[in-house]
Structure 1
Amino acid sequence: MSDNVIRFGGSHIGNQIALQNLKAWLAGSKSRNYVVVSAIPQLLDLVQFNLQQVFLQELDEEEILNEIYGFYIGKVDEQPSEVYSKLAKQLVGLLKGIGLIGDYSRALKDQVLSFSEKLSVEILSSLWNEASIIHPEDIDLRVSSDFGNATFLSVDTDKLNKLEEGVYLIPGTYGIDENNKLARTGKTAADYTAAFLTKELGVDTLKLWGLDNDFQRAKPAIIENPEIIQRLTYSEASELAYFEHYSFHPRTVEPLEHAHIPIQVLSAETAEGKVQTVINTETYIEEQIVKSVACTDDISLLKLDGPGVGLKPGILAKVTNQLNDAGLNIKSVITSQTSINFILSKENGAKALKLVHKLGFSAVTDIKVVNDVALIGIVGHGMQQAYGVSAKIFAAVANNKINVILSGSGASDLVSYLVVQESDKEKSVREVYKAFF
C-alpha cells in the first residue's frame, strides 16, 4: 500500500471545484491519504487581529463568536457542529484570559493561533464526510521549543502505519514540544508539515494540491499572464518563497532535500492531478538563465555605516544574535568594508534600530533604517557561469533611469538582489523581465 501526503490550502476550503477535484483524484485509492490542511486565510487574520486588539478594547465575546461561526455557516451552509462550537468557545476564553492578564508568552500566542487550523479542519471535515481528523497530538508529532518558528523532530510512524486505508485530515503548522506545549512552525507552514510527514513515512513524492499563488515568472499584478515555471530546484523554490507573491513555505524543502524526494504542484482545477511545477534536486538551467523576477516592498533596510566596520571583528555576529534573541528575522545581509546592510521586514525595522543602538559600536558612525524601499530578486541557477547576466540586469534598470540603492550579485549562483525606491518597484520588475523574457 503506497501512502499519499497532500497539502490542501485553507483558501480552497469551501471551493467546491478544488475539493471535488481532489476527492475525484483520490477516489478508489487503496492507500492512506494524509491531507495536511492550512488555515482559512481570513480566519487566521481574524484570530490574529483579535489577539492584537484584546489589550486595546474590551472583548466582545458574542461578536467574535458570531464571526467565527460565520466561517462555518458560509462554507458548509449549516449551523456549526458541536466540536466547532466548542473550539470557538475555547478560543474566545483564551483571548479573554489574555486580556485580563495583559500579556502573553510566545507559547500562548502559538496556542491561540493554532485554533485557526483546528477550526479550518473542522469545516473541511464537514464538507468531506468520508475523511477523519488526526491532530498532531494524536500521532506524537514532536517539534523544538522555538515558538513561532519550531522545527519538526519526530512523529509516531507506527501509529500512522497501523491506520486503515482512507483519508485523514491533519491541521498543519504545529506540533508538541518536549514539555507537551503546542509550538507552531510558522504562519502558514502546512507545506513544511506535509514535507516532514512525507519524509518520515517514506512517501516518494510530496504533492501540493494547488497554490494560492503559482510559481510564475513574475508577479501577475505587474506582468500580465506570466508563464508558470515548470522546473525548479529546492533552492530556487525556497528563494522565491521569501517573496509574498509565492505561497510556499521556505522550510518545505528541508526534510526532502537530502532524501531527494521531489515536490509536485498539482492543478486544483482538474481531477487529473495535472503537474504544473516539479521541485527537486536536479539543477535545470534554462536558456535565459533567469527563471523569475520576484519583488516585495515589505522590507526595511537597517544600515550600519563607518570606516571601521570592515576592520572591527564581531559586529555582524553581535547584531544577528541581538535580533535573533528578539525574534526578528533577517531576510538577507549585504556588506562592504564600510557598511553592513540588513534587509528586514518593514514592521521589524524600527524595532531592530532600537536594539542595535543599545550595542554601542565604536566603529559604527551611523545607524539608520530606510523604509521606502523595495527588494527585487532575480532568481535562477547558472548566473555565475553565464556571461552578461549581471550586465543585462543593471543595463535594464540604468537605461530606464532606475536608481539602485543597494545590490547583491555574485555571492550566489542562484540570485541577484536589487534594492530600489519603493516607487520604482513595478518599473524595475517590468524592465528586468523584458530583458530576459
Structure 2
Amino acid sequence: MDKTVLKFGGSNLRRRSDLSTILEVIRMYNEPLVIVVSALNGVTNSLINAVKNIRTLDVDGFLSHLYSTYHDFLGEEFTPLKERVYQIRNMLIGTQLIGEVPDFVHDYVVSHGERCSSLLLTEYLNKMGLNFEEALPEQFGLVTDGKFNGASVDLTISERNLKGYFKEDRNYVVPGFYGMYENKVTILGRGGSDYSATCIAYCIDAKRVDLYKDVSGFMTSDPKIVPGVKSVEKLNYDEAAELSYFGAKILHHAAVDPVRKKKIPLYVYNIYSFTSLENPDTIISSDAFVTESIVKSISFTDDVAIIQFKGSNVGRVPGILGFIASTLGNEGVNIKSVVTAQTSINVLISSHDVERCQRITSQMKIAEVEDICYKTGISLIAAVGDGILKRHGVAARIFSAVSKQCVNVEMISAGASDVTTYFIVNSEDREKALKAIHEEFFGGDVFERH
C-alpha cells in the first residue's frame, strides 16, 4: 500500500494546543495515512496506579476525573468518548470484588488510554475537515503471542489480517500499545506504540514510518546527563536496535525489527521544532556507513544485574550454560547477555528480576558450581557505531578515556553485535564514564576543571 504510518506519542499530547500542532503536521502529507496514537500524557500511569490500588479505588471518581481530562482536551462534550472512558467500569468493579487483578484485566485497563485517545483524535481531525476513521486492533486483527505485559506481534497472521482490512484510499487512526490474542488484550510494553506503528507498517507494506517525539531524534548520548550532545542524523537498523536495547528511551526496543524485514525507512521528528518532512532529526534505514569517529552514540541502562556462577571448570563443562539458560527461561526470565570464562559464567538480567532469580538459583543443583553470587548497583554502557569492531584503536580510546576518570570497568563484551561494544561499571561511576567517552569521540569539555 502507498501509505505512510505516523505515530504520535504521549509526549505530543500534553495539552489541548497539541492537537492543533498535530493537525498542522498531518496536513503536510499528500498520501493516505495510518496514524498510531498513544494515551494522553500521564494517563497510562494513572491507569497503572488504579490497577495497583484497586482495593481502595473510588471507581466512579477515578473515571469521572479521567473523562474530565479528555473533555478538557477536546474542549467540548462528546458522548461517545464518555461512553468509551466508562467501558472499563464494570471490569474495575468486578476486580475490586475478587480482590486481585488477573493479567488479562491488567492489560485491558492499562491500554485503555490509547483507545480513548484514538477516538478523541479521530473526532478532532474530522471536525477540522479531514476524513479519518478509527480502527481498533481487535477489529483489524493485530495478533500477538499472548504474553501479557510484554507481548510480541505475530507478523505473519497480522499481515494477512491487516491487508484484508485496511483500504488503500482511506485514512485511519489506530490506538497503539496493544494487540490481541484469543480475544484478550495483550500490551506490548512501555513505549509499545512505536512497535505498533512499525508492525502495522510491515503488515500493510507502508512506504515509511514517521515517529513524532518531543526530542530531536537519537542523540550522541543522554542530554540529561551529558552536556553538549548532538543529534545523530543517520543510523542503520542494527545501530538503532542496539541503542534502544541498551537503554535509549526514544524508541521501543522491538520497533526496528519489523521495518528492517522489509527495509521500510524510519524517520524521527521533534514535533516542537518540526519544520518540514524533508528535515527529520534522525533517519533509520538499511544504509550502512562509517563515520570518522566510528562511535555514533553512547547509551546506557541501569536496569541490569549479574548472576555469577563460579567454579573451577564451569566455563568448559558442556551443558551447564544450557541448563542455566533453560531454567531461567522456563520461569520467564529474560537473559540480556552472557559472558563466560573458565571459572565463571556471568548472566546479565534485569535488576527487576533479581529476587525472582535468587529463588530460582537457590533450587539449582549443579555439581561444578561452587558459588552463586549477584552483582547489583551497576550500569551497562554501550558504545554503538558501524565499524566499531573493525577499526583499530576504538576500544582503546573508549577504555583509556574511562580510565583517566578513575572508573573501574567490571566487565567488557564485544562481538555479540558488529556495531556495539559494551561494558559494566558501578552505577556511581556511570555519569563520569558517559562524559569521558563523549568528550573523547565528540569533543567538548564536559568536566569541571580545577
**CA separation in 2, counterparts of 1:333 and 1:322?**
14
Residue in 2 that maps onto 1:106: 103
In the alignment, is residue 412 of structure 1 matched against residue 410 of structure 2? no
Contact 1:215 1:246 survives alignment (8 Å): no
Pairing 1:138-153 to 2, within 5 Å after superposition: 138-147=139-148, 148-153=150-155
**1:139 deviation in Å?**
1.4
Displacement after TM superposition at 1:361 (Å): 2.0
Deviations 1:177-208 (A, max 9, x none): 2x222222322211222112212222221111
Distance 1:115 1:298, change over 3 A: same
What RMSD in Å do the two structures reach over aligned CA positions? 2.4
Does structure 1 retain, via aligned residues, the 8 Å contact 2:269–2:281?
A: yes
Question: What are the residue-to-residue correspondences of 1:16-415 with 2, within 5 Å?
Answer: 19-27=19-27, 29=29, 31-54=31-54, 57-79=55-77, 81-128=78-125, 129=127, 130=130, 131-147=132-148, 148-153=150-155, 154=158, 155-161=161-167, 164-165=169-170, 167-177=171-181, 179-210=182-213, 212=215, 214-268=217-271, 269-270=273-274, 272-273=276-277, 274-415=279-420
CA pair 97-235 structure 1, distance change in 2 beyond 3 A? same
Judged with a 3 Å threshold, the aligned counterparts in structure 2 of structure 1 residues 92 and 242 are, in CA distance, closer, same or farther, namely farther
Note if contact 2:16-2:72 (Cα within 8 Å) is conserved in structure 1.
Answer: no
Shift of 1:217: 0.1
1:193-237 residue CA offsets vs partner (Å, 9 max, x unmatched): 211221222222111123557300011012224110011111111
Measured against aligned partners, the alpha-carbon deviations of 1:290-344 in whole angstroms (never above 9, x if no partner) come to 0111122222222222223213333333333333333333332222222222222
Structure-2 change in CA distance of 1:342 and 1:85 (3 Å): farther
Q: Secondary structure at the match of 1:322?
A: helix
Which structure 1 segments of 5+ residues have no match? none
- Give the conservation status (yes or no) of the 8 Å contact 1:11–1:212: no
Q: When the two structures are aligned, how many residues end up with a matched partner?
A: 431
Distance 1:425 1:17 in 2: 38
Cα distance in structure 1, aligned partners of 2:95 and 2:331: 21
Q: Secondary structure at the match of 2:254?
A: helix
Report the CA distance shift for 1:50/1:244 in structure 2 as closer, same or farther (over 3 A).
Answer: farther
Mapped partners of 1:13, 1:323: distance in 2: 39
Distance change >3 Å, CA 73–CA 138, structure 1 → 2:
same
Contact kept? 1:195, 1:255, Cα under 8 Å: yes
**In structure 2, the residue corresponding to 1:90 is in which secondary structure?**
helix
> After superposition, what is the alpha-carbon deviation per residue over 1:163-188, rounded to whole angstroms, capped at 9, x for unaligned?
x43x42100122222x2222223222
Letter in 1 for 2:393: G
Distance, in Å, in 1 between the alignment partners of 2:145 and 2:374 is 32
Mapped contact 2:209–2:265 kept (Cα < 8 A): yes
In structure 2, list runs of 5 or more residues that go unmatched. Answer: 443-450
Q: C-alpha separation between the residues in 2 aligned to 1:353 and 1:244?
A: 24
- C-alpha spacing 1:312/1:104, structure 2 compared with 1 (3 Å): farther
Deviation at 1:14, TM superposition (A): 4.2
The more displaced of 322-331 and 45-54 is 322-331
Instruction: Report the AA paired with residue 412 of structure 1.
Output: S
Distance 1:104 1:360, change over 3 A: farther
How far apart are the structure 1 equivalents of 2:332 and 2:104?
A: 13
Q: After the TM superposition, which of the residue ranges 425-434 and 150-159 deviates more from structure 2? A: 150-159
Question: Compared with structure 1, are the counterparts of its residues 397 and 123 closer, same or farther at alpha carbon in structure 2 (3 Å cutoff)?
Answer: same
Residue matched to 2:13: 13
